[in-house]
Amino acid sequence: MHFAFCIEKIMDIAQLVRNSIEATITALGYEIVDVEYKHVDGDMHLSIYCDCATGFGLDDCEKINHAIDDILENLNPTNDQPYVLNVCSPGLDRPFKTPRDYARNIGKGVDIKLHKHFNKKLNIQGELLSHSEQEIKLMTPKGEVTIPMENVQKATPWVKFK
C-alpha cells in the first residue's frame, strides 16, 4: 500500500507541475514533451523535457528555467522537500509519448518494439506512413505493414549513424 501511495504521489507532483508551467512554456514557443519526478542517485529530480520545431539547445533550457523558476517557487510542488530541477531536451531517440510525436514523424524512419511477435518479429523498422488511435502503418523493405497500437510497446525515431 505504501509503495502504491508513493508512486501515485510522485505522478501527482509531475502532473501538477506540468499543468502549472505548460502555458508559460507554450507561450515561449516550446512544447512540453514530458515531466518526470523521480529518485536518481539518492536525490529527487524534477525533469522537464521540452522541444521546439526549430531545434532545442542549452540557451533554450536556460530560457525555460528562468521563465518557470518563480512559478515553481510559488507552487512549492514538493511541499518544501528538496529536488534537482532539470530542463532538458528529450534527445534524438526519445520514445513517442503522444499522437503529436507520431504525427511529427510521418515520412521518417521509426523503430517499433512490440509486445508480441508480428510476422515473427519483436522489432520492426520502417518509414512511418500513418497513425491513428488504433494502428500505425509502416513501409518496410518487405512492403507496407499495419500494426495495432495495443501491440506497440515502444516507438522511437530510427536514428542512423554514418
pTM score: 0.70
Question: Does residue 11 share a domain with residue 79?
Answer: yes
Residue 55 lies in a domain: yes
Structure-model confidence comparison of residues 161 and 87, the more confident one: 87
- Reported as a single tens digit per residue, the pLDDT across 55-64 is 889 999 999 9
Which range in 16-30, 38-52, 115-129 is most confidently predicted, on average pLDDT? 16-30
Question: Does residue 67 share a domain with residue 8?
Answer: yes
Q: How much is the pLDDT for 77?
A: 94
Average pLDDT value for the chain: 89
- How far is the C-alpha of 108 from the C-alpha of 102, rounded, in Å? 10
Domain holding 127, by residue range, is 99-157
Residue 94 lies in a domain: no
Question: Does residue 12 share a domain with residue 39?
Answer: yes
- How far is the C-alpha of 95 from the C-alpha of 157, rounded, in Å? 8
Q: Which residue has the cell 499522437?
A: 99
Phi/psi for 149 (5° steps) reads: -60, -30
- Reported as a single tens digit per residue, the pLDDT across 1-35 is 444 445 567 678 999 999 999 999 999 999 998 89
